């Protein structure tokens, strides 16, 4: 193998290796950022549910009955 062929093979291997590493990094970043977004949305939803006013079923029935009479 001549030196120019060796240069091209080494360059090709380096580009392929860089592409594989880049794909792994992108996949990990997507997973981690997706997990962080899901956690943030879940915490926000939980805070909204906890801070929502509590109404019982009997309160609705009494209110509905009073409004009908």
Tens of pLDDT along 22-64?
Answer: 999 999 999 999 999 999 999 999 998 888 777 665 566 666 5
Cα Rg, the chain, nearest whole Å = 30
What is the structure's pLDDT at 50?
85
The residue with greater pLDDT, 65 or 52, is 52
What is the structure's pLDDT at 53?
74
Q: CA-to-CA distance for 26 and 12, rounded, in angstroms? A: 21
Cα separation values, 9 from 17, 18, 23, Å: 12, 14, 21
């Amino acid at each position: 193998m001549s030196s120019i062929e060796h240069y091209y093979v080494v360059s090709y291997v380096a580009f392929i290796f860089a592409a594989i590493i880049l794909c792994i990094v992108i996949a990990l970043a997507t997973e981690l950022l997706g997990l962080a977004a899901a956690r943030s949305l879940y915490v926000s939803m939980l805070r909204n549910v906890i801070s929502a006013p509590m109404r019982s079923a009997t309160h609705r029935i009494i209110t509905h009955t009073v409004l009908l009479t």
